[in-house]
Structure 1
Amino acid sequence: MKRPTPPRAEASAAPDGADGRWSPALWGLLFVLAANMLIDALEVSVALVALPAIGADLGLAPHQLQWVVSGFAAGFGALLLFGGRLVAILGRRPVYLAALLVFAAASLVGALADHAALLVATRFVKGFCAALTAPTGLAIIVSVFPEGPARGRALSVYSLFGASGFSVGLLLSGALTEASWRWTFAFPAPVALLLFAFARRLIPRDTPDPKAPRRYDAKGALSLTAATLLAVAGIAAGPAFGWTHPLTLGALLLAALLALVFVRVERTAEQPLLAGELLRQPALLRSALGAGALNGSYLGLLLVSTLHLQQQAGYGPWRTGLAFLPAAAPLALTALYSGRFVARLGPARLIAAGAAAAPLGYLLYPREGAGVRYATDVLPTMLLVGIAFVLAFTAFHVQATGSVPEPLRAVAGSFYQTAVQLAAALTTVLCAALYPAGRGPALALVTAVALAGLAVALHGLLPRRAPRAPRAPDAAPPSRRHRHRPPRERP
């Protein structure tokens, strides 16, 4: 007798991609999101290599030129938490599409700018656009791709594009700046418009979560943004007007007051941008401080090295981009395997090893002299910095988001990235302010920042004491006066 064949499950019962086979639309959506992540990641590196050409064309000193880098980082970092709130209230699709259009327009205006103020303004706007699209792209992947191997593969592709962006930016900027620095800011415009055309068809429509916060907390966003910009402006004013000039001191004092305003607003807001629970997560705080120190010191080094190689050693933009590649390429080459390293060795050990490699590399960079021998003066530093990022980059993210409860992970990721970007903005302007006194003081600052990150990483290796459980009231030893005595047995 023939056994009856069990009925087959309907193909529509499983979500697209759950069985390992992705439709062309799903592949297209992934590559749109990943390509935009690549564009966001290369925005810093394309500006770094082009800095000397921008300064020569617009007549900018280093303390003014740094705004091209720190302006983008300030817009990205100061508005990242606010961007997440916009997405939660307005929805992922409309915010993502609008950010792509504004990014394209800002790229075109920046390429045509003849004044430093307009160029810096476009960089700030592009940083805000990145603050909208980078976390939103990740949220779209998590919502569209089913949990399991499909989502893991999608996140790997997304991370690979993001890790490759810095290297791609170095090569593109080196090639385009040979023609004109304006091409380095113009080429993202058509790319963003092309991504917009595909994203409009591929990004699914969504409705805002009714449980999400409904208040924008504009006061918190404005106070944090103003504090960041005034801090950068105050530090940049030091070399131009003097560190005791009323303009310098006034900007720094006002930045400190606005930072206090931000803290006050967040403590009293009904729905704050920065959840207070995040500040009680020690692993998240260590990751934010350590990653900020690593990223900030790295960009400070590249700023100093860009000016050194092109203005003193006679390097061209293309040669400078190639010189920096050993620091950026290793992370891109190992991005797909970094998660395995973290799972096998643990994030704390990898972070400590990476935090030790970075300051060692900074110490090897020459402090004096205009000439340079790349193989002995620059290459060892770049290789050690590349090793630091290979070891610590993914480990920082895993430690930051994996140490907090599930409901807080999205905002924890934004808080972590905020610290990384703000550290980049402040370290860059500090290095630019010290550079006129020589490479030595600027590199000393870079090394000090990296050593601070190493101290934080080593603290993370210390054994943690388990919190003592509160003693139950009935388990407390009775006092001598009121000690209960059992009754004597009568014969």
Structure 2
Amino acid sequence: MSIASGARAGARWALVPVLAANMLVDALEVSATLVALPAVGSGLGAPVTRVQWIVTGFAAGFGGALLLGGRLVEWFGRRRVFLAALLVFAAASLAGALADEVGLLIATRVVKGFCVALTAPTGLAIIVASVPEGEARRRAVSVYSLFGAAGFCSGLLLAGSLTGAGWRWTLAFPAPVALALFAAGLRVVPREPAGSGGSGGGPRRHAVVAGAALTAAVLLLVYALARGAWGGAVAAVAAGLVFVLAERASPRPLVNTALLRHAPLVRSALGAAALNGSYVGFLLVAALDLRRGGWSSWETALAFLPAGAPLALTALHSGRIAARLGPARAVAAGALAAPAGYALYPHSGAGGVRYAELVPAMSLVGLAFVLAFTALHLQATGSLPTGLQAAAGGLYQTCVQLGAALTPALVSALYAASGPGAALRLVTAVGVAGAGVALAGLAHPSTDPS
């Protein structure tokens, strides 16, 4: 019996909203904490090089665990992994909100990133397995994607509303929501047939060691970049070596090395890492700069809306936009718009920044995501055989999250040492590098097999 036929037809209408609502909560984690970050730093007395971990730690946990997460789903099943991750996510949210020491808060952020690495792709897999192929599945996936895109804007508005009353409310909010989704998930997420999951996936030891080593390497590299610690860089290299050795010893490694020779995937992964990393780094600098200029959390949230709202408003049409322009041209246009937006960020000095001055920069950054983000994914996987697309998607998304972990870490170090000007120059340089990769892709369109 398939999952689709095993799921009660009457409950299917409730399944997609539950999974989509979880995607929304997952997506708002970055935007909400970006707005709340200055208040968290003030409340805990932490410098920017430490408080940046509430953003980069989440991305590091997310990116470091994505590849292992797919294997965990094979071993234990979609339903069990999804529901267990929701419970841990809720507990970590509550622990983070109650934390009185920044180290504990950072640990909860890494754990939450790990949980999202399980729930986000697993939620989509549950939809694909539970909703019949055709128009019903297309609508379900569209709703799921729309909620994910809307999560960034929701996080801005949430943080703008709650952080004024206290940053702990912003961090605590996801806990009761995750518990409510867990309770609903117990009723609507279908059980898998006996024998699916549990025993597959090859030797577990190699996969666990590789996944743990990758996560450790990312965390150590973030530490090294934020603190200028050579010891952390050496330890990161050592953890990376453990990852490589575990992968080489495994009969079924987490990373299919054949994918690393696929030029469109590599270009797209690098371009997406540059776009996402520079985007998060840019908003990190802006959040700190606006707070220094006397802006409230609500004013900062409204200032960030032009950078997030366009993607949410066009989410259902992003595939059509990419197809109309062609993935390579859409990626190049978006990759050029992003650094143009960063360069337009106003430098108003001690007098502060006016909202009207921010709109051009934020709007161009928002346009960059509308043009490039879906097109990058299509370019990454479009010319691969169907059997490799899921693995390519996992590798691509890992790079997207690693960009959001590594670039902001270095940006925060420059901000602390030299101020917003130097940090913005780095953000712009990363964006320009991504544009260079995108322009190279124009000469080798991803629709041609490589």
Shorter-chain TM-score: which interval?
Answer: over 0.9
- Cα deviation, residue 222, structure 1: 1.6
2:374 pairs with 1:394: yes
Name the CA distance, whole Å, in 2 between partners of 1:177 and 1:285: 39
1:233 aligns to what?
223
Partners of 2:411 and 2:350 in 1: CA distance? 18
CA contact (8 A) 1:310 1:316 kept: yes
Question: Of the two, which has the highest radius of gyration?
Answer: 1
Distance in 2 separating the partners of 1:210 and 1:230: 32
Query: 1:368, CA displacement in angstroms?
Result: 5.9
Q: 1:30 to 1:364 in 2, by over 3 A?
A: same
TM-superposed CA distance for 1:82, in Å, is: 0.5
Match of 2:316 among 332, 336, 340: 336
1:218-237 CA-partner distances (Å, limit 9, x unpaired): 12112111111111111222
- How far off its partner does 1:215 sit? 2.6
Consecutive unaligned residues in structure 1, runs of 5 or more: 1-14, 17-21, 239-247, 469-491
Residue 249 of structure 1 is matched in structure 2 by 230
2:437 to 441, 456, 481: 456
Identity %: 61
Indicate the RMSD between aligned Cα atoms, in angstroms: 2.1
Count, aligned residues = 442
SS of 1:270 mapped into structure 2: coil
Residue 366 of structure 1 and its aligned partner are, at CA, apart by: 2.8
- Residues 157-196 of structure 1 mapped to structure 2, 5 A cutoff: 157-196=143-182
Matched, 1:52 2:38: yes
- CA–CA distance in 2 between the matches of 1:358 and 1:31? 32
Decide whether aligned partners of structure 1 residues 265 and 318 sit closer, same or farther in structure 2, where only a CA change above 3 A counts: same
Give a deviation string over 1:209-254, Cα, whole Å, max 9, x none: 589423331121121111111111112222xxxxxxxxx1111112
Amino acid in the other structure paired with 1:170: L
Aligned to 2:242: 261
Q: CA deviation at 1:367?
A: 4.3
More helix by share: 2
Letter in 2 for 1:418: T
Unaligned runs of 5+ in 2: none
Please report how far the alpha carbon of residue 117 of structure 1 lies from its aligned counterpart in structure 2 after TM superposition: 0.7
Does the 8 A contact of 2:346 with 2:357 survive in 1? yes
Spell out, residue by residue over 1:279-332, the C-alpha distance to the aligned partner (whole angstroms, 9 max, x if none): 122111111111111110010011100000012x11000010000000100000
Does structure 2 conserve the Cα–Cα contact (< 8 Å) formed by 1:368 and 1:439? no
| TM-score, length of structure 1 as denominator length | 0.86
**Structure 1 residue 23: deviation in Å?**
4.7
- Aligned residue type for 1:306: A
Q: Which residue of 2 aligns with 1:38?
A: 24
Equivalent residue, structure 2, for 1:84: 70
* Corresponding position of 1:381: 361
Q: Which residue of 1 aligns with 2:55?
A: 69
- Number of the residue aligned with 2:106: 120
Q: Rate the CA distance shift 1:108–1:338 in 2: closer, same or farther, 3 A.
A: same
Determine the structure 1 residue equivalent to 2:421. 440
Relative to structure 1, the CA distance from residue 100 to residue 454 in structure 2 (aligned partners, 3 Å threshold; closer, same or farther) is same
Q: Does the 8 A contact of 1:353 with 1:392 survive in 2?
A: yes
Shift in alpha-carbon separation, 1:120–1:211, aligned structure 2, 3 A: closer
Instruction: Give distance in 2, aligned partners of 1:24 and 1:171.
Output: 34
Q: Which of structure 1's runs of 4+ aligned residues deviate more than 4 A?
A: 209-212, 463-468
Matches within 5 A, 1:123-142: 123-142=109-128
Residues in 1 aligned to 2:331 and 2:200: alpha-carbon distance in whole angstroms: 33
Q: 2:203 aligns with which of 215, 225, 228?
A: 215
CA 1:369–1:261 in structure 2 vs 1: closer, same or farther (change >3 Å)?
same
The SS at the match of 1:273 is: coil
Relative to structure 2, which stretch is displaced further, 435-444 or 156-165?
435-444
1:219 counterpart letter in structure 2: V
Matched, 1:406 2:386: yes
1:244 corresponding residue in structure 2: none
The CA distance in 2 between the partners of 1:66 and 1:375, in whole Å, is: 24
Separation in 2, partners of 1:131, 1:298: 20
* Residues 367 and 443, structure 1, Cα contact 8 Å, conserved in 2: no
Tell me whether 1:106 sits opposite 2:92 in the alignment: yes
In 2, the alpha carbon distance for the partners of 1:403 and 1:129 equals 30
Q: Distance in 2 between matches of 1:112 and 1:341?
A: 44
User: Counterparts of 2:10 and 2:25 in 1: how far apart (Å)?
Assistant: 22
Q: Give the Cα separation in 2 of the matches to 1:126 and 1:454.
A: 31
Contact kept in structure 1, 2:75 and 2:199, CA below 8 Å: no
